[in-house]
C-alpha cells in the first residue's frame, strides 16, 4: 500500500469507526459485531504505524492520550455555569410561573422539562468541530481543565458530526451508570479497596483523576443538555419548522443530537403546569428503573428569547 492509498483508507476507516462508536455509545444501537469493529480498529492502527505522518491527535484511536498530570489547571468559563433553583412542591412551581408572568405580562409561552441526571456538570468547547477543552463547573466562573479525562468518554465526540459551527460550547452531565458502579464496587471489595459511595460522587471523583488511564477505566458516560455558545454566523438546519437561528430550547436538544451528542430521551414540551405535573409524576414512578441516578426534573421556559 502506497501513501495515497493509505491516506484514503485511513479516512474511510476513521469515518466507519466513528459512526460505529456513535451508534453503540450514543444511540445504543450497535449495527456491527465486536469482531468486525476490532478488525477495522486493528487495520487503522497498523496503517498509522506504517505511515506515522498520517496519525491524527483527534483520531478515534487516541481517546486515552497524554501523560498523567501533576495538577489540574484552572480555567475561566466564557459564561457562568449557573446552579438551579430548587422547588419541592407544585405550589412552589405555580409561584415560579406567576413570577415569570409578571416579568413578561401578556406573553404566551411553553415550558421544556427534562430529566436531571445526577453526576458532574462540565463544559465542552469545540473549535472548527474539534474538542479543544473540557472544564468542570467549579465555582461557576472558574473550573478545572479536565480535557484529557473527557476525551476518554466514548459518548463525548472528539469531532462533531454534520454541519457544525466554527465555535460551539456545550454543557452536560458526566455520569456513571448503576451497572458500572456495581461492577467496580464488586472488584474493589474483592481487592479490599474502599468502596465507592454513590454514582454521583463516583462520576465526579473519576473526572478528577490525574491519570486519564484511571479515568478511562471507570467507563463514564456523558449526556449533553445545553448550548451556551454558537457562532453567530452559523445557520443551523431546519429545526422545529424554523430556519435560521435557534428559537427554542427543544431545538438545542435536536441540534446537539445532530452534532453527535447523547441527549437523554426523557423530555417534554409542556403548555402549562398541569402538563408539567404529569411529566414529573411519570418520572417519579419510573426513576428507580433508570440506568443512571437522577436528581429530579429541570424545567425551563422553552422560548430562548425569554431566558435573559
C-alpha 163/C-alpha 84 separation (Å) is 31
Cβ-count burial of 243 within 10 angstroms (0-12 exposed, 13-18 middle, 19+ buried)? exposed
3-state secondary structure of 198: coil
Give yes or no: 116 in active site. yes
Helices assigned H by DSSP within 104-234: 147-150, 178-190, 199-207, 212-216
CA distances from 176 to 31, 76, 111, 231, 304 (A): 24, 26, 28, 31, 30
- H helix or E strand, kind and range, residue 16: helix 3-21
Q: Are 134 and 124 in contact (CB under 8 A)?
A: yes
Catalytic residue among 7, 45, 116, 193: 116
3-state secondary structure of 217: coil
- List phi, psi (to 5°) of 230: -140, 130
Cell numbers placing 100 = 415569570
Q: Are 26 and 221 in contact (CB under 8 A)?
A: no
Catalytically annotated residues = 116
Amino acid at each position: 500500500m502506497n501513501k495515497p492509498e493509505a491516506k484514503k483508507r485511513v479516512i474511510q476507516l476513521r469515518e466507519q469507526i466513528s459512526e460505529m462508536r456513535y451508534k453503540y455509545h450514543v444511540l445504543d444501537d450497535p449495527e456491527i459485531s465486536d469482531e468486525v469493529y476490532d478488525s477495522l480498529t486493528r487495520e487503522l492502527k497498523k496503517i498509522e504505524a506504517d505511515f506515522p505522518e498520517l496519525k491524527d491527535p483527534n483520531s478515534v484511536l487516541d481517546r486515552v492520550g497524554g501523560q498523567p498530570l501533576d495538577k489540574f489547571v484552572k480555567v475561566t468559563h466564557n459564561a457562568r455555569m449557573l446552579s438551579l433553583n430548587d422547588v419541592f412542591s407544585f405550589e412552589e412551581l405555580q409561584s415560579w410561573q406567576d413570577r415569570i408572568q409578571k416579568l413578561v405580562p401578556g406573553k404566551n409561552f411553553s415550558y421544556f422539562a427534562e430529566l436531571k441526571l445526577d453526576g458532574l456538570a462540565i463544559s465542552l468547547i469545540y473549535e472548527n468541530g474539534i474538542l479543544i477543552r473540557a472544564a468542570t463547573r467549579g465555582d461557576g466562573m472558574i473550573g478545572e481543565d479536565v480535557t484529557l479525562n473527557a476525551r476518554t468518554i466514548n459518548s463525548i465526540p472528539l469531532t462533531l458530526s454534520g454541519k457544525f459551527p466554527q465555535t460551539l460550547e456545550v454543557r452536560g452531565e458526566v455520569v456513571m451508570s448503576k451497572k458500572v458502579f456495581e461492577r467496580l464496587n464488586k472488584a474493589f471489595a474483592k481487592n479490599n479497596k474502599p468502596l465507592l459511595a454513590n454514582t454521583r460522587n463516583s462520576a465526579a471523583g473519576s473526572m478528577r483523576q490525574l491519570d486519564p488511564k484511571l479515568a478511562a477505566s471507570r467507563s463514564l458516560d456523558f449526556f449533553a443538555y445545553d448550548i451556551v455558545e454558537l457562532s453567530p454566523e452559523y445557520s443551523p438546519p431546519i429545526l422545529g419548522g424554523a430556519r435560521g437561528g435557534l428559537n427554542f430550547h427543544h431545538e438545542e436538544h435536536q441540534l446537539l443530537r445532530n452534532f453527535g451528542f447523547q441527549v437523554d430521551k426523557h423530555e417534554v414540551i409542556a403548555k402549562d403546569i398541569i402538563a408539567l405535573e404529569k411529566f414529573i409524576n411519570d418520572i417519579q414512578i419510573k426513576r428507580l428503573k433508570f440506568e443512571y441516578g437522577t436528581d429530579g426534573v429541570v424545567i425551563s421556559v422553552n422560548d430562548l428569547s425569554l431566558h435573559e
